[in-house]
Structure 1
Amino acid sequence: FDYILTAHHADDSLETFIINLSRGTGLDGLTGIPEKNDKLLRPLLPFTRKEIEHYAKTHNLTWREDASNAETKYLRNKIRHQIIPILKEINPNFLEAFLKTTQHLKESRQLIDEAVVNAKEKIVITTKNKEIQLKMDELKKLKHPKVYLYEILKEYGFTAWKDVANLLEAQSGKEVFSKTHRLLKNRGVLIVSKNLSDKENLEFIIGKNMTVIEANNIKLRISELKDNHVISHLNTIFIDKSKLIWPLVLRKWKTGDYFYPLGMQGKKKVSKYFKDEKFSLLQKETTWLLCSDDKIIWIVNHRLDDRFKVTKNTKTILKIENTHSYSLPEASEEKD
């Protein structure tokens, strides 16, 4: 099918308006039922229930009435039978006035949408890791930053708007959650990300004969190389197979982790490496470490450990590649 048509009419839209108003809502909740939602069309919204009934009777059309529509134990029915009649008694043209008001609100909604689009061009950036960030310095330049926060973030399910607004002045590391996403304060930005699942915090054991390991935001392919011409990328490493102790472990970083960065002398704490590379808190949480006997082989997509590099004495080269989509710099030939 192309579309589904429903019989919602103007009275239904008025009821929805009052329900949303009673619960507390933003502008979207005060514009009534939309005429179109994806494949849902509501062609009868411009007409009142009275007009539709009149048309049906005039053309000898029959319809089925749901008996539950008369029961006032439901909120919508209570509004329909007890509240709206009083409003129409106060103003016999109340429904027509409501339709005019919603049209004005929809036009106001369009103006706000245009302003938000323009603001997002300055405020919102998407990193190469598909991380959504809001620049707070740009946000604070606006006259009503809290309003823009609401408009930009409402699609992610946030409801604790006071807590969201407080992040503008909070310390780095503070966060607010919705059912599906979280908003994290990190230095001068607010970072939007999906809530981490339990699966994303697991450790994965990699046996000697395994060639593909797949987890959230990572897919490693392991293979032996037949020649010594190796090209290094951030998403690909070449290591001396003889230096490995199996099984390998794929895990997230822990306090106290350290490694020996390729090309540098001495060891370095992973936390210090993250700080020097200006990792966001979210990046720290989602970065994987590949380990051998608790020694870090690779901070995946970032830095190889010098202890496992290929040398002139290497007999068997192991290629490990993360084939999950990632933005890569130009390749450079690896030399010892």
Structure 2
Amino acid sequence: MPVSSSSSLQSLSRVGLGCGVFSGAYGPATQENAIAAVRTAFSSGINLVDTSPYYNDSEIKLGKALLALRPEFPRSSYHICTKLGRYGYHTKDFDYSRERVNASVAESMRRMHTDYLDAVLCHDVEFVSTSEVVDQALPELFALKEKGTVHNVGISGYPLPVLLEIAQIQQQRGNPLDVVLSYCNYNLHCQTLKEYVPKLRAAGVKTIVAASPLSMGLLSSGSTPEWHPAKDEVKNAVAECADLVDSKLLGRYDVTLAEMAEKFAFEFDGVDVHLVGARTSEEVVRALAAYEGTQALKESNDGKYMEQEVQAVYEQVLRILQPFSSYTWPSPPADA
């Protein structure tokens, strides 16, 4: 697994393991599956795991997995990224106070059996005022960085203008962000992150993470989660793509829409890490195969799938979803 040379997180793998899926939001997620997924990830060269207190019991399951695997993979061999500030669905469930920052960091360390966190991000910053982020939470996180408890400080969220605004404020204050995590902004149906990467770099952001190449489960052949915020027009276009791939390729080339979506996202070299959620060892293997396949295609200099029929279907998928290349949904939602 190649590592990112531009990341401020030392020797960070180009693919990270998103552990929000351990919450059960995307289907059953047992502790045994979590251990197997983390073991497969670490054995394959992935050295970043990402979670949050908001993801139900994800931190707890990840912590138990890390503890069980410690004889094989010591704490120094991987990076833990977690978040704080968001503890429920509604805006009333957010708390960016200095007191909650310290309590949240301490609780995350306890759950994951560690005395330091490699990165801590303010979670879904668009749900609160900018002042709560830059005047309360971030100063306290940078104070914890000075103490060595937190090694890197950042933010996560969906609307890119909000992420950029906070990054620019931090740069103007002489304390630029170490990490920005953007989710669902570079995939088959949306590529808006590409234009923001140079702006985030110019604002001093050292590590940029692109999360959810499958757009929170939308870009797969299975049923889309009921809670997914995309409008029906996008969901219907994705369903058309899934039917096309299944009817043309399933059983012949063993290619799925999810694989196409991951390969598409992995072609983007502008970010330091692609964060992929995987509940099971098998899902980890699939994501890594997609990444390695993308790198092989780049080296072939033609950027195409090896099989002509698969390439033709892939190009048809791109045409169907092209109208939505700049589509984003409102965040926070109206009912938050």
- TM-score, scaled to structure 1: 0.23
Structure with the greater relative contact order (CA < 8 A, sep ≥ 6): 1 or 2? Answer: 2
Higher helix share: 2
